[in-house]
């Protein structure tokens, strides 16, 4: 009986350890109050709430199969950001957008949800967005905002591209 208890405990602990190492996940919530211009060119206080979820999946190196200490391979980091904006004093948000992309090693993306749309910028000041193309191959420039759901390709000045998926882009009111 004692052997059975020890065996079950070992199996449970090893399975928990195995499942815990499948990915590296963290979440960040960011809240800030900004001043923006409304449709009448008046300054209004706006609440900007951003939730960032970053997942880095990991796998074990297939060449190290059956070895005691296997090498870990980190897969590309997947970033999902949910951005909400509230321009008035009620309890609901006025606009919401959910954006997901594979993070580039050279630069990360910043998003600002405005009343007119979603503005995309690069966090690294040395790199900029050259052009933004949507799934219908309609050309956008950096000054334009994203207004609809869809798959966008961002071409950066360093020659890299980032696939950007915009989902749940809506006005709640």
Q: Please write the tens of the pLDDT for every residue from 55-87.
A: 988 888 888 888 888 888 888 889 999 988 887
Per-domain residue ranges for the chain?
22-171
Ranked by mean pLDDT, the top range of 60-64, 77-81, 120-124, 134-138 is 77-81
- Coarse DSSP helix, strand, coil percentages of the chain, rounded to the nearest 5 percent: 15, 50, 35
pTM: 0.72
66: left (phi over 0), alpha (psi -120 to 50) or beta: left
Could you give the residue ranges of the DSSP H alpha helices within 119-159?
A: none
């Amino acid at each position: 009986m004692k052997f059975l208890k020890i065996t079950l405990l070992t199996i449970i602990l090893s399975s928990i350890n195995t499942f815990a190492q499948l990915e590296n996940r963290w979440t960040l919530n960011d809240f800030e109050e900004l001043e923006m211009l409304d449709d009448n060119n008046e300054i209004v206080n706006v609440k900007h709430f951003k939730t960032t979820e970053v997942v880095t999946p990991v796998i074990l190196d297939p060449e190290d199969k059956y070895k005691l200490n296997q090498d870990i391979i980190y897969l590309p980091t997947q970033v999902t950001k949910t951005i909400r904006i509230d321009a008035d004093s009620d309890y609901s948000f006025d606009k919401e957008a959910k954006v997901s992309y594979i993070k580039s090693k050279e630069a990360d993306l910043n998003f600002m949800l405005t009343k007119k749309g979603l503005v995309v910028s690069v966090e690294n000041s040395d790199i900029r967005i050259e052009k933004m193309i949507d799934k219908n191959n309609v050309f956008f420039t950096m000054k334009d905002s994203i207004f609809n759901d869809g798959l966008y390709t961002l071409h950066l000045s360093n020659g890299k591209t980032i696939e950007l998926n915009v989902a749940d882009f809506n006005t709640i009111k």
